[in-house]
Structure 1
Amino acid sequence: MLDSAPVRLPDPATVDVVALTRAICDIPSVSGDERALADAVEALLRSAPHLEVLRDGDTVLARTRLGRAQRVVIAGHLDTVPIQGNLPTELRTAPDGGSLLWGRGTVDMKGGVAVALYLAMTLPEPGKDVTWVFYDHEEVEADLNGLGRVVRTNPDWLAADFAVLGEPTAGGIEGGCNGTLRAEVRTHGMTAHSARAWKGHNAIHDAAEVLRRLARYTPAEVEVDGLVYREGLNAVAISGGIAGNMIPDECAVTVNYRFAPSATPEQAFAHVQEVFDSFDVALVDAAAGARPGLNHPAAVDFLEAVTAVTGGVAGPKYGWTDVARFTELGIPAVNFGPGDPMLAHADDEQVAIDEISTCTQALAAWLSTPVTSSHDDAPDGTERR
Structure 2
Amino acid sequence: MPRLDLTASSVDLTRAICDIPSVSGEETPLADAIFDAVSALGHLDVFRDGDTIVARTQLGRARRVVIAGHIDTVPINANVPTRDVTEDGTAYLWGRGTVDMKAGVAVQLKLAAELAAPRVDLTWMWYDHEEVDADLNGLTRLARTRPDLFEGDFAILGEPSNGQVEGGCNGNLRALVRTTGVRSHSARAWIGENAIHKAAPILARLAEYHPREVEVEGLVYREGLNAVRISGGVAGNVIPDLCEVEVNYRFAPSRSGEEAEAHVRDVFAGFDVEITDLAAGARPGLDAPLAQEFVAAVGAEPRPKYGWTDVARFSAMGVPAVNYGPGDPHLAHHDEERVPLAQIEDVERGLRAWLTAP
Q: TM-score band, normalised by the shorter chain? A: over 0.9
Report if aligned partners of 1:128, 1:369 keep a CA contact under 8 Å in 2: no
Q: Aligned pair 1:78/2:71, yes or no?
A: yes
Q: Aligned pair 1:330/2:323, yes or no?
A: no
Rounded to whole Å, the distance in 2 between the matches of 1:44 and 1:17 is: 14
Unaligned runs of 5+ in 1: 1-5, 371-385
Rounded to whole Å, the distance in 1 between the matches of 2:326 and 2:222 is: 23
How far does residue 351 in structure 1 lie from its aligned partner after superposition? 0.5
Residue in 1 that maps onto 2:309: 321
How far does residue 94 in structure 1 lie from its aligned partner after superposition? 2.1
Counterpart AA for 2:312: A
Counterpart AA for 1:137: H
Rounded to whole Å, the distance in 2 between the matches of 1:267 and 1:19 is: 45
Q: Deviations over 1:50-103 (max 9, x none)?
A: 1111111111111111111210011001111222222222122222x1211111
Report if aligned partners of 1:160, 1:331 keep a CA contact under 8 Å in 2: yes
Residue in 2 that maps onto 1:250: 242
Following superposition, which runs of at least 4 residues in structure 1 exceed 6 angstroms of deviation?
none
Q: Aligned pair 1:289/2:277, yes or no?
A: no
Unaligned runs of 5+ in 2: none
- Identify the match of residue 227 of structure 1 among 219, 231, 234: 219
How far does residue 18 in structure 1 lie from its aligned partner after superposition? 1.0
Residue in 2 that maps onto 1:8: 3
* 65-74 vs 85-94, which moves further: 85-94
Report sequence identity in percent.
63
Report if aligned partners of 2:6, 2:109 keep a CA contact under 8 Å in 1: no
Query: What TM-score does the superposition give when structure 2 sets the normalisation length?
Result: 0.97
Count how many residue pairs are aligned between Structure 1 and Structure 2. 358
Counterpart AA for 2:323: N
Within 5 A, what are the aligned runs for 1:88-167?
Answer: 88-95=81-88, 97-167=89-159
Within 5 A, what are the aligned runs for 1:1-385?
Answer: 6-12=1-7, 15-95=8-88, 97-307=89-299, 311=300, 313-370=301-358
Report if aligned partners of 1:175, 1:293 keep a CA contact under 8 Å in 2: yes
Counterpart AA for 1:109: M
Rounded to whole Å, the distance in 1 between the matches of 2:339 and 2:170 is: 25
Report if aligned partners of 1:151, 1:325 keep a CA contact under 8 Å in 2: no
Query: What TM-score does the superposition give when structure 1 sets the normalisation length?
Result: 0.90
Rounded to whole Å, the distance in 2 between the matches of 1:223 and 1:260 is: 8
Rounded to whole Å, the distance in 2 between the matches of 1:91 and 1:46 is: 30
Q: Secondary structure at the match of 2:99?
A: coil
Q: Secondary structure at the match of 2:255?
A: coil
How far does residue 194 in structure 1 lie from its aligned partner after superposition? 2.0
Q: Secondary structure at the match of 1:239?
A: strand
Q: Secondary structure at the match of 1:81?
A: coil
